[in-house]
């Protein structure tokens, strides 16, 4: 009821990357990969904690990652990690006011200086690096 | 004239472009009255348009000829007053500043801006936006600002002026707050409009209230909730670029700027 009265878009609006260009897609990917990495971290802690139950339990747990599903998961983790790091550096620099352009007299059609080609290039480079890392990771994991 | 009411999900699609001649488009207007518990529905109207017809003119045609009860706020019709912000085909924009022909569709859907409470139909409540704007102390703060017979003007170079001029063009239309993904979920967030205005005064070398303003925005619902999605700057109709202002303001907080 309160949501309807306030007309807030809520999570659905926040998670919709389609309407505001590549910068909003990068924002969405950054959040998504952040959540994915958090889930991986929790899973990783659970996985490595099995070592306290002895060598057999540890080996059984390791076998889970030696399956095709395990390899796909690890490939995704590699991609998430690379994108989150590369794009995160762009965002951190931007947060300090670095690379967001200089204030000036706006002229029609009012292209925002903060959404400049350097920012867009960094986003595409982050995506490309993630794709390359995933390809390399997949070739190593599925290689033999 | 037939008026068809449809549910929000039933959106007819068309890619036909408008031409130089008079064309007829389908204008879908979101109708709702939350204070009386009326759920949102769409009313459809056939509206004649020409190449230069704006979305606001199309809505006013409906009010004048088909259904005068449509609630819409507007004033200057030239992107100066910031009254007619609404969601046009899914994106926040000024109705007076958006030509029907540039939307490349014969079906135009207008809805109230998100992240603002709906008063009725397309009119939304700006109370929070204005209150957050006021919180930023949108005026020059300095002890000698009172005009006396001995007063001299505050001299600024063109370079000094350029540091904040762009951000002083804000017309408080609310489009940036409507597009912001943080505003979508955090009702206490100051919003890109307020934060950009804080920077406008912080960057003004006549102003002495920098520390005061930085204290206000240094809040968990303040500047730290901006994640630089850039959507505010995408939709700003005046080239204010709130995303830049917020990042530059954060530069002060992080010690990159003095």
| Dihedral of alpha carbons A25, A26, A30, A36, sign | positive
- Which residues of chain B have a CB within 8 Å of the CB of A4? 34
pLDDT of residue B2: 45
Which among A130, A135, A116 has a CA at the least distance from the CA of A22?
A: A116
pLDDT tens per residue, range B151-183 = 778 889 999 999 999 999 999 999 999 999 999
Question: In chain B, where does the domain assigned CATH 3.10.20.30 lie?
Answer: 4-124
Closest chain B residue by Cα to residue A101: B244
pLDDT of residue B149: 83
Residues 16-75 of A with CB under 8 A from B: 19-21, 23-24, 26-27, 30-31
Q: Do the Cβ atoms of B165 and A103 come within 8 Å?
A: yes
Q: Lowest mean pLDDT of A10-24, A54-68, B13-27, name the range.
A: B13-27
CA distances to B81, B128, B182 from B191, in Å: 19, 10, 8
pLDDT of A60 above 70: yes
All structural domains of chain A, each given as residue ranges with its CATH number in brackets, are 2-141 (1.20.1300.10)
Q: Do the Cβ atoms of A7 and B116 come within 8 Å?
A: yes
Nearest to B256 among A23, A96, A114 (CB): A96
pLDDT of A3 above 90: no
Mean pLDDT calculated for residue range A90-110: 93
The answer to whether A32 and A79 have CB atoms below 8 angstroms apart is: no
Class of CATH domain B4-124 = alpha beta
Higher pLDDT, B204 or B258: B204
Chain B nearest C-alpha distance from A127 (Å): 16
pLDDT of B42 above 80: yes
Q: Do the Cβ atoms of A96 and B112 come within 8 Å?
A: no
pLDDT of B5 above 70: no
pLDDT tens per residue, range B65-84 = 999 999 999 999 999 999 99
ipTM, two decimals? 0.89
CATH number 1.10.760.10 given to B127-253: no
Q: If you average pLDDT over every residue of chain B, what do you get?
A: 91
pTM of this structure: 0.88
- Which residues of chain B have a CB within 8 Å of the CB of A92? none
pLDDT of residue B16: 47
Chain A nearest C-alpha distance from B233 (Å): 6
Instruction: Please name the helix (run of DSSP H) or strand (run of DSSP E) that holds residue A57, with its range, or none.
Output: helix A55-64
pLDDT of B205 above 90: yes
Mean pLDDT calculated for residue range A24-51: 94
Q: In angstroms, what is the C-alpha Rg of chain A?
A: 20
How does residue B18 score in pLDDT terms, banded at 50, 70 and 90?
A: very low
- Which residues of chain A have a CB within 8 Å of the CB of B241? 101, 103, 106, 112-114
Q: Are strands B85-88 and B118-120 parallel, antiparallel or unpaired?
A: unpaired
pLDDT of residue B22: 84
Question: Is residue A55 packed enough to be buried (19+ CB in 10 Å), middle (13-18) or exposed (0-12)?
Answer: exposed
pLDDT of residue B212: 95
Q: Are strands B38-49 and B23-33 parallel, antiparallel or unpaired?
A: antiparallel
Question: In chain B, where does the domain assigned CATH 1.10.1060.10 lie?
Answer: 127-253
pLDDT of residue B154: 83
Q: Detail the DSSP E strand segments found in B34-155.
A: 38-49, 85-88, 91-94, 107-111, 118-120, 123-124
Q: Do the Cβ atoms of A114 and B257 come within 8 Å?
A: no
The answer to whether B81 and B70 have CB atoms below 8 angstroms apart is: no
DSSP one-letter code for B248? H
The answer to whether B205 and A142 have CB atoms below 8 angstroms apart is: no
pLDDT of B7 above 70: no
Question: Is residue B37 packed enough to be buried (19+ CB in 10 Å), middle (13-18) or exposed (0-12)?
Answer: exposed
A1 and chain B in contact, CB less than 8 A:
no
The answer to whether B222 and B195 have CB atoms below 8 angstroms apart is: yes
A3 and chain B in contact, CB less than 8 A:
no
Q: If you average pLDDT over every residue of chain A, what do you get?
A: 92
Mean pLDDT calculated for residue range B190-200: 97
């Amino acid at each position: 009821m309160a949501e309807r009265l306030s007309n807030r878009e809520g999570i659905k609006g926040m998670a919709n990357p389609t309407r505001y260009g590549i910068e909003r897609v990068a924002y969405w990917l950054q959040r998504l990969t952040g959540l994915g990495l958090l889930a991986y971290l929790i899973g990783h802690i659970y996985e490595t904690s099995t070592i306290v139950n002895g060598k057999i339990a540890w080996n059984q747990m390791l076998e889970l990652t030696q399956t095709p599903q395990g390899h796909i998961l690890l490939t995704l983790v590699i991609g998430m990690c690379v994108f989150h790091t590369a794009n995160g550096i762009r965002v951190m620099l931007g947060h300090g006011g670095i690379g967001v352009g200089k204030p000036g007299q706006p002229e029609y059609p009012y292209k925002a200086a903060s959404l400049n080609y350097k920012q867009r290039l960094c986003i595409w480079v982050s995506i490309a690096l993630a794709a390359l890392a995933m390809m390399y990771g997949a070739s190593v994991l599925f290689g033999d | 004239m037939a008026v068809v009411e449809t549910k929000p999900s039933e959106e007819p699609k068309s890619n036909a472009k408008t031409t130089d001649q008079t064309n007829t488009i389908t204008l879908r207007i979101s109708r709702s009255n939350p204070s009386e518990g009326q759920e949102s529905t769409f009313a459809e109207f056939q509206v004649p348009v020409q190449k230069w017809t704006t979305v606001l003119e199309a809505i006013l045609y409906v009010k004048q000829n088909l259904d005068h009860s449509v609630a819409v706020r507007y004033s200057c019709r030239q992107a100066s007053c910031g009254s007619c912000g609404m969601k046009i085909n899914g994106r926040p924009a000024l109705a007076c500043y958006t030509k029907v022909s540039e939307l490349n569709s014969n079906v135009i859907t207008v809805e109230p801006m998100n992240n603002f409470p709906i008063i009725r139909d397309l009119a939304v409540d700006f109370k929070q936006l204005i209150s957050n704007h006021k919180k930023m102390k949108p005026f020059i703060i300095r002890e000698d600002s009172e005009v006396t017979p001995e007063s001299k003007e505050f001299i600024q170079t063109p370079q000094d002026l350029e540091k904040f001029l762009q951000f002083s063009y804000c017309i408080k239309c609310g489009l940036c707050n409507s597009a912001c993904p943080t505003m979508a979920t955090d009702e206490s967030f100051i919003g890109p409009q307020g934060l950009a205005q804080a920077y406008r005064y912080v960057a003004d070398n006549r102003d002495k209230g920098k520390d005061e303003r930085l204290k206000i925005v240094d809040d968990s619902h303040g500047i730290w909730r901006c994640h630089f999605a850039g959507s505010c700057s995408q939709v700003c109709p005046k080239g204010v670029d709130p995303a830049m202002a917020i990042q530059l303001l954060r530069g002060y907080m992080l010690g990159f700027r003095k």
